[in-house]
Every structure is written in structure tokens, then in C-alpha cells.
């Protein structure tokens, strides 16, 4: 994941000439993650997160964070989306988009989510930075 392509609205990555995500695919995945964020159940932190995973056959599965008063029983958006896809038979993924309410800040997936993502193949990781669809593409270990 070392070649980055920019344009006015989004930044996305081309993985050494392999599978390229089209502009429309990137926009759709970000939009789906933003929509999933609206379903977040976060009465304690008030920190909404949504995720959308893209499968190899271009199916999209979404998830949101779901908190619990017993903190460690909560589930992150990334793991919810991946688990939903796995429960439908998908084991390998092209991309994941992650959206939060933070503006101009990278939302780093937690260690558990990074491990979950490492377990399956992600060629592209898109993190939404603001409501306009501007995003970045970090590596899984960049903020470990």
C-alpha cells in the first residue's frame, strides 16, 4: 500500500498496481460507513463510528459501534461490519471505510480491530475525515 492518488474530494490508494478502487466505489463505501454511523448505540461515550466493508465480489456490509455499560462487552463498528460479512460466508475483503464524527483527525482502529483486519485481507483502508468525504488511507500498523 504505497501508491497514493489524490483528487479534490477523496484520496485513495492503489496497491502496487493491483486491484484499484474506482472513485465511485470509494465514495459509495464512505457514504455507507457514514450511514452506518447513524445507527451507533453509544450512550456513554457519545462517540459514533460506522464502518463499511467491501468484499471481493463487491458486496458491502456495514456495522456501527454498540456500547454496553460493561465497557469490554461493547463492539466496535469495524468488528461489527466484518462479523456481519463473515456470518454471510465472506472471509476476504477488498476495503473497509471507517467514519466518525471527528473532523480533520485520523480515527485509529483499536488494537482489537487491527487484529481483526489483519486476520482477513484488506487491500484498502479508508478513513473518513469529515462530512465532505475527504479521507486518508493509513496502514494497519501506522498507529499501533
Give the residue ranges of the annotated binding site for substrate. 65-71
Of the candidates 127, 61, 140, the one whose C-alpha atom is nearest the C-alpha of residue 98 is 127
| Residue 139 Cα distances to 18, 30, 46, angstroms | 16, 17, 26
Question: Do the beta carbons of residue 62 and residue 52 sit within 8 Å?
Answer: yes
* Binding residue ranges: 65-71, 76, 110, 113
* Binding residue ranges for Zn(2+): 76, 110, 113
Of the candidates 110, 107, 111, 109, the one whose C-alpha atom is nearest the C-alpha of residue 136 is 107
Q: How many CA atoms lie within 13 A of 122 on its CB side?
A: 24
Question: Do the beta carbons of residue 13 and residue 124 sit within 8 Å?
Answer: yes
Catalytic residue from among 9, 78, 88, 119: 78
What is the C-alpha to C-alpha distance for residues 76 and 88, in angstroms, rounded to an integer? 19
Active site residue 78: yes
What residues are labeled active site? Answer: 78
Amino acid at each position: 500500500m504505497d501508491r497514493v492518488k489524490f483528487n479534490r474530494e477523496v484520496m485513495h490508494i492503489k496497491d502496487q498496481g493491483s486491484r484499484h478502487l474506482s472513485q465511485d466505489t470509494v465514495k459509495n463505501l464512505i457514504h455507507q460507513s457514514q450511514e452506518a454511523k447513524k445507527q451507533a448505540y453509544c450512550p456513554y461515550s457519545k462517540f459514533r463510528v460506522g464502518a463499511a466493508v467491501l468484499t471481493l465480489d463487491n458486496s458491502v456490509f456495514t456495522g456501527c459501534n454498540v456500547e454496553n455499560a460493561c465497557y469490554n462487552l461493547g463492539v466496535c463498528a469495524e468488528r461489527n461490519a466484518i462479523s456481519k460479512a463473515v456470518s454471510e460466508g465472506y472471509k476476504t475483503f477488498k476495503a473497509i471505510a471507517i467514519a466518525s464524527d471527528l473532523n480533520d483527525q485520523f480515527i485509529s482502529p483499536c488494537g482489537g480491530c487491527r487484529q481483526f483486519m489483519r486476520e482477513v485481507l484488506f487491500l484498502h483502508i479508508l478513513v473518513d475525515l469529515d462530512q465532505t468525504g475527504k479521507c486518508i488511507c493509513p496502514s494497519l500498523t501506522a498507529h499501533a
